[in-house]
Amino acid sequence: MIISTKTLLKSAALALATLSAPAMLTSPVAAQSKTGIAVANYEAAVVRSQAYQAALEQMKTTYKTDIDATNARATALQTEMKPLVDAYNAAVQQPGATQASVQPQAQALQAKRQAGQQELARLQQRVTLATAYVEEQVGKKLNDAIRSAMKVKKVDLVLQPQAVIAREPYVDITDSIIAELNKLVPSASITPPAGWKPGQEQESAQQPAATQQPSGR
């Protein structure tokens, strides 16, 4: 695979997520926390839910043509870009090379890279859209899952890991959120409705409030 797993996961969903959260502590130590504070990786919870994982597997079959075409083109682009990379490196290594002297090679390389990225985005457009649709279906129930996990774990406040300097493993409730998501969203469709766009429902919900005129007369 030419495209990295991380890239595929976010843009084309061609590989399973390998994110792992610390295992929940089941010993009495967990009950000793007096702060009622926990941490959770919300993105990992969505990605590791059974609905999301099953959808990824379905996409590998349903959109196999798109995936194969994307990977094949990515391989070809690497070959096409090599002469431009070599030309740029050679120009930089020339005695007395300056930013101005290497600008033609740099611009050629950048233009090729941007064109390649746009081409790959077009090839994986259906996969990207399907991934966004699955994420939205699971994400709709994320808040409910968090609330349920908080009740189960008797937690009053949940923080994201990047906001925490130090913690004990047992305060991570990501696995509990995943378990709740699995109950709330057992499966997700990988076929967006005709004309569907990411965030469309949120925009529709906000539109009435935005267009409502004040009645102060």
Segment 110-161, tens digit of pLDDT: 999 999 999 999 999 999 999 999 999 999 999 999 999 999 999 999 998 8
Place of tokens 């919870």: 45
Tell how far CA 115 is from the center of its chain: 23
Residue 202: pLDDT band by 50, 70, 90 thresholds?
Answer: low
Residue 206: pLDDT band by 50, 70, 90 thresholds?
Answer: low
Give ∠ CA 197-201-205 in degrees, rounded to 5: 145
* Mean pLDDT computed over 54-70: 97
Question: pLDDT of 184-198, one tens digit each?
Answer: 999 999 999 999 999
More confident residue, 52 or 201: 52
Place of tokens 């595929």: 8
More confident residue, 30 or 115: 115
Task: Residue 114: count other Cβ atoms within 10 Å of its Cβ.
Answer: 10
pLDDT of residue 199: 83
Per the prediction, the chain carries an average pLDDT of: 82
Is the pLDDT confidence value at 90 over 90?
yes
What residues contact 107, with CB distance under 8 A and at least 6 apart?
Answer: none
List the structure tokens of 214: 């004040």
pLDDT of residue 213: 53
Residue 166: pLDDT band by 50, 70, 90 thresholds?
Answer: confident
CA dist., res. 193 & res. 197, Å (int):
9
Domain boundaries, the chain: 5-63+125-205
* Mean pLDDT computed over 33-41: 78
List the structure tokens of 174: 């990501």
